[in-house]
């Protein structure tokens, strides 16, 4: 690892001022579960690392006017075990439970989980292995997964870079229309997570002087059904091959409205809008749900080794909706 300066931030303002001072040479760290691996593999070499776990008051789960608020430093395990979340926002508990392992869920913050880097093995490979790839994500000219070993890469919206968003919390929170409260030099702003991820794969989630301080989840309507399903090769400590988050408002066996979001398939959580349209205002039948699962894949362009993801996506959508 290259040397870097380490700061224990005392306040959000202190963090923003350090981020402004160091610009793109600074990174914030929460649990370190993702970023330490990137540092060791020299994928990133910041001059300053700003620990924000030392900022008080950013670890909470609360409801305010029926809006769920989750502080940026809240551990994934706290979301997994919160009775408030289990009662009303169970999809978040399901997603949290599927993240990594109990120890990693204790270490990881919700903001770190949302901002974690992708897991592409070309991108993350360190020089110690004797082989590194200067891929497009690092400013190079090509994506090595395009004609390489792409079995875990994207099948939808994969174009310039085929890495997928690895965050299970992102998939579930996008399906819940959640937003992030973001603070930077220019002040405070709120952005939906769907918007935040739209800059991926090659853009930045946030400006270099910004941090997430809170996740805001709007109140769910009555008669909301929610489900997060994940398929991974191992039962624990494994990223999603494919995941599906579905949040549906159901009245008399008819879907009044639904959000269906797919994980593990695209650079950002993918909103299966065509499937949503097909299901909206229709009685739920196995035939319709089957058609909708096919519509969800209408933009899919699998690579040489990952077409196997498509039937898994269809199966998970059908299970989540039915
Ligand atoms: C073996 C293994 C298996 C895993 N399996 C899964 C899985 O199945 N599903 C899943 O979803 N995740 C999984 N993860 C991810 C893991 O659980 C963590 O959530 C993730 O690695 C980062 O969390 P962290 O708090 O440690 O973030 P850090 O490593 O500290 O930070 C990660 C990134 O987020 C940025 N960041 C953190 N907080 C903020 C903030 N408030 N504002 C702006 N930027 C911020 C940091 O700068 C950094 O770029 C796995 C990780 C490992 C190592």
Is residue 77 lining ligand 1, measured as CB closer than 6 Å? no
Query: Buried b / exposed e across 128-138, counting CB within 10 Å, b at 16+?
Result: eeeebbebbbe
- Coil, strand or helix: which one is 284? coil
Q: How confident is the prediction for the chain on average, in pLDDT?
A: 96
Dihedral sign, Cα of residue 119, residue 260, residue 161, residue 315: positive
Which residue carries 């797919």 as its tokens?
262
Q: What is the pTM of this model?
A: 0.97
Task: Show the DSSP H helices in 147-285 as ranges.
Answer: 168-175, 193-197, 273-279
End-to-end CA distance of the chain: 49
Condensed to tens digits (0 to 9), the pLDDT of residues 96-140 reads 999 999 999 999 999 999 999 999 999 999 998 999 999 999 999
For helices 286-295 and 309-321, angle between their N-to-C axes, nearest 10 degrees:
140
Q: What is d(CA 111, CA 303) in angstroms, rounded to the nearest whole number?
A: 31
Q: What is d(CA 42, CA 65) in angstroms, rounded to the nearest whole number?
A: 45
263 pairs with which residues across the strands?
Answer: 243
On the 0-12 / 13-18 / 19+ scale of CB atoms within 10 A, 174 is buried
Tokens representing 35? 């970023």
Answer yes or no: is pLDDT of 191 > 90: yes
Q: Characterise 105 by phi-psi region: left (phi > 0), alpha (psi -120 to 50), beta (else).
A: alpha
Q: What is the model's pLDDT at position 292?
A: 98
What mean pLDDT comes out for the span 202-216?
96
Q: How far is the CA of 85 from the CAs of 80, 113, 212, 287, in angstroms?
A: 8, 18, 20, 33
Q: What is the model's pLDDT at position 119?
A: 96
Q: What is the model's pLDDT at position 295?
A: 97
Q: What is the model's pLDDT at position 159?
A: 79
Report CA(257)–ligand 1 centroid distance (Å): 31
Tokens representing 85? 């979340």
Tokens representing 147? 């004609």
Q: What is d(CA 3, CA 63) in angstroms, rounded to the nearest whole number?
A: 42
Q: What is d(CA 225, CA 92) in angstroms, rounded to the nearest whole number?
A: 12
What mean pLDDT comes out for the span 62-71?
93
Answer yes or no: is pLDDT of 66 > 90: no
What mean pLDDT comes out for the span 79-83?
98
Is residue 9 lining ligand 1, measured as CB closer than 6 Å? no
Which residue's CA is the nearest one to ligand 1's atom 4? 100
Is residue 112 lining ligand 1, measured as CB closer than 6 Å? yes
Condensed to tens digits (0 to 9), the pLDDT of residues 138-168 reads 999 999 999 999 999 999 977 789 999 999 9
Strands (E), the chain: 5-8, 26-29, 48-51, 61-64, 67-71, 179-184, 187-192, 211-217, 224-231, 242-251, 254-263, 270-271, 282-283
Answer yes or no: is pLDDT of 64 > 90: no
Q: What is the model's pLDDT at position 163?
A: 96
How many C-beta atoms surround the C-beta of residue 17 within 10 A? 14
Condensed to tens digits (0 to 9), the pLDDT of residues 225-246 reads 999 999 999 988 999 999 999 9
Choice from 18, 33, 59, 263 to test ligand 1 binding pocket (greatest atom count within 8 A of CB): 33
Q: What is the model's pLDDT at position 101?
A: 96
Q: What is the model's pLDDT at position 158?
A: 75
Q: What are phi and psi of 184, to 5 degrees?
A: -150, -170
Q: What is the DSSP letter of 242?
A: E
Choice from 34, 58, 137 to test ligand 1 binding pocket (greatest atom count within 8 A of CB): 34
Q: What is d(CA 222, CA 250) in angstroms, rounded to the nearest whole number?
A: 9
Q: Which atom of ligand 1 is nearest to the CA of 167?
A: 11
Q: What is the model's pLDDT at position 236?
A: 86
The C-alpha angle 164, 177, 291, rounded to 5 degrees, equals 70
Is residue 108 lining ligand 1, measured as CB closer than 6 Å? yes
Percentage of the chain modeled with pLDDT above 70 = 100
Condensed to tens digits (0 to 9), the pLDDT of residues 278-305 reads 999 999 999 999 999 999 999 999 999 9
Q: What are phi and psi of 111, to 5 degrees?
A: -70, -40
Q: Is 4:18 a contact under the CB 8 Å cutoff?
A: no
pLDDT tier for residue 1 given thresholds of 50, 70 and 90:
confident
Tokens representing 193? 């997570």
């Amino acid at each position: 690892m290259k040397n870097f300066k380490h700061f224990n931030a005392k306040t959000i303002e202190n963090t923003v001022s350090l981020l402004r001072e160091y610009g793109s040479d600074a990174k914030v760290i929460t649990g370190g579960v993702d970023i330490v691996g990137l540092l060791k593999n020299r994928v990133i070499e910041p001059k300053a690392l700003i620990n924000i776990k030392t900022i008080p008051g950013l670890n909470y789960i609360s409801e305010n006017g029926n809006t769920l608020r989750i502080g940026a430093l809240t551990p994934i395990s706290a979301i997994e075990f919160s009775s408030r979340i289990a009662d009303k926002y169970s999809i978040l508990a399901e997603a949290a439970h599927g993240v990594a392992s109990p120890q990693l869920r204790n270490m990881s913050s919700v903001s770190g989980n949302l901002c974690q880097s992708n897991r592409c093995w070309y991108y993350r490979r360190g020089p110690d292995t004797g082989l590194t790839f200067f891929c497009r994500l690092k400013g190079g000219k090509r994506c090595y997964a395009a004609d390489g070993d792409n079995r875990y890469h994207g099948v939808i919206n994969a174009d310039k870079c085929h890495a997928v968003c690895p965050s299970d919390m992102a998939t579930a929170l996008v399906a819940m229309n959640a937003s992030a409260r973001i603070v930077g030099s220019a002040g405070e702003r709120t952005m939906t997570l769907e918007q935040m991820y739209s800059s991926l794969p090659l853009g930045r989630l946030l400006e270099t002087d910004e941090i997430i301080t809170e996740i805001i989840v709007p109140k769910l309507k009555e008669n909301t059904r929610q489900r997060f399903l994940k398929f991974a090769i191992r039962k624990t400590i494994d990223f999603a091959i494919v995941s599906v988050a579905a949040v549906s408002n159901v009245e008399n066996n008819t879907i009044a409205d639904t959000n269906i979001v797919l994980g593990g398939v695209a650079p950002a959580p993918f909103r299966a809008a065509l499937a949503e349209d097909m299901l909206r205002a229709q009685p739920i039948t196995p035939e319709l749900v089957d058609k909708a699962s096919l519509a969800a894949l209408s933009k899919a362009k699998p690579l040489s080794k990952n077409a196997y993801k498509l039937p898994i996506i269809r199966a998970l959508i059908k299970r989540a909706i039915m």
